[in-house]
């Protein structure tokens, strides 16, 4: 009986901590998204009225996202079916491509460009918070079935998107006007993102820095004490958090020191990779003996 109560208490404690960590990660991602939205929302959606195509794409995508959140039957759809629902515009693009090839009319070429850019812009605005919601729900509700692969495969794209958007807000002095113009701006910005340098939100904005650090630390704690098979919240597993934190501190210190005297990114990243490989090799061979 005592053992049963102890297990229930551990499960409840693990559930509460999992809830807090999931919310922290979701809020940190949302802060980066709102940093972008605060800068771009008015120029994209308010300054210039949307044309009929932009309205159809933006509002139907919004309704699709709301439906997939609120309607239980749609919530249970396979992830690939959800992707297809959010990507209906791509099927229309295929039709426009065939019509343009068959007729040669420039009208279809223009429609292809407008539809693609409007869909890209609408997806970044509408689906980013939807993806954050899905990530938080998965991390909290599905403790048994959710694996680290699921978490990383969802978190990494979301973090990449929110950092990309916050970098846009930090590096642009005058945002584009209108939805399709923003879509074109995003396409052109993708190839320049790695060169944003010191103007990026990650390096210049304390709020974005704090949000990114909070995501990383929350994820480390989630891995160490919440994730299956560590869901039992047993104290013997807590030591897993210490080497991850120490490794993070060591890597951060190395990056700070190395980038002060070398701009060769290959050298900066190769040294910790080689050292880590050597340490793992020594540990592995030591255990074999």
Query: pLDDT digit string (tens) for 122-136?
Result: 999 999 999 999 999
230: number of Cβ within 10 Å: 17
Same domain, 223 and 287: no
Same domain, 218 and 254: no
What lies within 8 Å, CB to CB, of 90 at 6+ separation is 119
Q: Using CA atoms, how far apart are residues 202 and 182, in angstroms rounded to an integer?
A: 21
Total domains in the fold of the chain: 2
Same domain, 224 and 260: no
Q: Using CA atoms, how far apart are residues 198 and 263, in angstroms rounded to an integer?
A: 13
Do 201 and 167 form a contact (C-beta atoms < 8 A)? Answer: yes
Same domain, 283 and 152: no
Same domain, 100 and 43: yes
User: What are φ and ψ of residue 263, in 5° steps?
Assistant: -105, 5
Tell me if the bond preceding 229 is cis, omega within 30° of 0: yes
Listed residue (67, 111, 66) closest to 89, CA to CA? 111
Residue-level pLDDT at 133: 93
| Reported pTM | 0.74
Residue-level pLDDT at 109: 86
Same domain, 144 and 263: no
Picking from 233, 250, 267, the residue at the C-terminal end of a domain is: 233
Residue-level pLDDT at 204: 58
- Find the domain containing 265 and state its range: 242-289
**With the C-alpha atoms ordered 222, 223, 224, 226, is the resulting torsion angle positive or negative?**
positive
Same domain, 274 and 145: no
Tokens for 68?
A: 């997939």
The 8-class DSSP code of residue 175 comes to: P
Same domain, 146 and 261: no
Picking from 233, 256, 276, the residue at the C-terminal end of a domain is: 233
Residue-level pLDDT at 198: 42
Same domain, 246 and 119: no
Same domain, 189 and 280: no
Same domain, 62 and 147: yes
Residue-level pLDDT at 100: 87
The list of the chain residues with pLDDT below 70 reads 1-14, 142-147, 191-204, 225-245, 248, 255-256, 259, 262-269, 280, 283-289
Looking at the chain, list the stretches that DSSP marks H as alpha helix, in order from N- to C-terminal side.
2-41, 52-70, 72-75, 79-86, 88-103, 106-141, 148-171, 179-190, 201-204, 206-225, 241-261, 265-288
Same domain, 70 and 186: yes
């Amino acid at each position: 009986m005592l053992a049963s109560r102890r297990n229930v208490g551990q499960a409840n404690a693990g559930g509460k901590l999992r809830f807090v960590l999931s919310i922290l990660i979701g809020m940190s991602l949302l802060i980066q998204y709102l940093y972008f939205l605060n800068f771009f929302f008015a120029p994209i959606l308010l300054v210039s009225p949307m044309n009929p195509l932009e309205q159809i794409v933006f509002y139907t995508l919004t309704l699709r996202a709301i439906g997939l959140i609120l309607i239980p039957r749609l919530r249970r759809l396979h992830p690939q079916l959800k992707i297809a629902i959010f990507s209906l515009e791509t099927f229309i693009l295929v039709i426009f491509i065939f019509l343009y090839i068959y007729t040669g009319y420039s009208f279809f070429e223009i429609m292809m460009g407008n539809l693609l850019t409007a869909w890209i812009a609408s997806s970044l605005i509408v689906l980013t918070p939807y993806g954050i919601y899905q990530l938080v729900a998965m991390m909290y509700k599905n403790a048994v079935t959710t694996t680290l692969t699921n978490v990383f495969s969802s978190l990494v794209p979301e973090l990449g998107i929110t950092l990309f958007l916050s970098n846009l807000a930090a590096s642009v002095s005058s945002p584009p006007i209108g939805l399709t113009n923003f879509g074109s701006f995003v396409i052109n910005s993708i190839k320049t993102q790695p060169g944003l340098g010191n103007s990026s939100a990650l390096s210049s904005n304390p709020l974005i820095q704090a949000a990114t650090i909070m995501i990383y630390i929350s994820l480390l704690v989630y891995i160490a004490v919440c994730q299956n098979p560590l869901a039992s919240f047993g104290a013997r597993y807590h030591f897993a958090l210490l080497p991850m934190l120490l490794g993070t501190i060591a890597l951060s210190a190395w990056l700070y020191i190395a980038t002060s005297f070398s701009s060769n990114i290959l050298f900066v990243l190769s040294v910790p990779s080689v050292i880590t490989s050597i340490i793992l090799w020594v540990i592995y061979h030591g255990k074999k003996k």
